[in-house]
Amino acid sequence: MSSAEFIIQGIITAIELIAGMDPYILSIAGVSLKVSGTATFIASLTAIPLSFIISHREFWGKQKLLTLINTGMGLPSVFVGLFVFIMLVPAGPLGFLKLIFTPKAMIIAQYILVTPIITSISLAAINAVPIAIRENAYSLGGSHRDVAVVVLKEAKFGIVTSVLAGFGRAIAEVGAILIVGGNIAYTGSVGGIGEGLSYTRTLTTAITSETSSGDISVAIALGLILITINLSVNAAVSMLQGRGEERGTA
């Protein structure tokens, strides 16, 4: 088989797997979406209020926190994986939680990776809201909470962009979740769960293992799904940034 035939055959089989709703492929995509979606959601709950506080309040250690967030944006995912692994492994300080090699461990690792990204982009969006908007809201009788709502609404396009960017980083990430999740798929029926389905295997970790084991069609199918999700997220980010720039709050 020539190299072109090998690739074409791989793509054809991959499309057949996706079109046929292969349970193994679907379970992997499901775990990816669940883990990255949950991590992004929890990170947003932390990052958006945090970015508002950083923007609107002066407090001790603010500059150090900003440095930490900027460092966190470029944090190598394998380092985060190693850190979470050490924390959660049975001999580690949080080993009693028995979270290592579970989707929850993967969520924790992705949360650490994604929170600085959402915080940083949200902060830029909130800082771009003219101070006159905030002062008007106060002047019209708004409480601190009312004013926060006004500012967040003005920055909403930038904030949604930050969440999508965070999700894009999470779903494409491989190093950390490979270390703390273990890339596990069930090899037998466990507690009613079907054989061969994913437990902690995600699109990215599965691509690495399927490529290593030579099952190129499955790897291509997973890659196509991953790239489709990423393209959709990036398209949404581009669209929102365009809308935000029209309003000067991207």
The site for other proteins (CB under 8 A) is made up of 130, 132-133, 135-143, 146, 150, 153-154, 247, 249
Query: CB of residue 142 vs other proteins: minimum separation in angstroms?
Result: 5
Q: What's the burial of 80, exposed, middle or buried (CB within 10 Å: 0-12/13-18/19+)?
A: buried
Residue 84 Cα distances to 32, 73, 196, 210, angstroms: 18, 17, 27, 25
Judged by beta carbon, residue 151 or residue 178, the one nearer other proteins is: 151
Q: Which of 3, 248, 6 is nearest to 127 (CA)?
A: 248
Judged by beta carbon, residue 143 or residue 232, the one nearer other proteins is: 143
Judged by beta carbon, residue 154 or residue 210, the one nearer other proteins is: 154
In whole angstroms, give the CA distance from residue 199 to residue 103: 7
Query: CB of residue 137 vs other proteins: minimum separation in angstroms?
Result: 7
Judged by beta carbon, residue 150 or residue 178, the one nearer other proteins is: 150
Query: CB of residue 139 vs other proteins: minimum separation in angstroms?
Result: 5
Neighbours of 38 (CB within 10 A): 17
Q: Which residues share a beta bridge with 198? A: 185
Query: CB of residue 140 vs other proteins: minimum separation in angstroms?
Result: 4
Is residue 12 within 8 A of residue 222, CB to CB? The reply is: no
Judged by beta carbon, residue 6 or residue 138, the one nearer other proteins is: 138
Is residue 249 within 8 A of residue 191, CB to CB? The reply is: no
In whole angstroms, give the CA distance from residue 45 to residue 100: 24
Judged by beta carbon, residue 111 or residue 157, the one nearer other proteins is: 157
Query: CB of residue 62 vs other proteins: minimum separation in angstroms?
Result: 21
Is residue 124 within 8 A of residue 158, CB to CB? The reply is: yes
In whole angstroms, give the CA distance from residue 228 to residue 247: 29
Query: CB of residue 138 vs other proteins: minimum separation in angstroms?
Result: 7
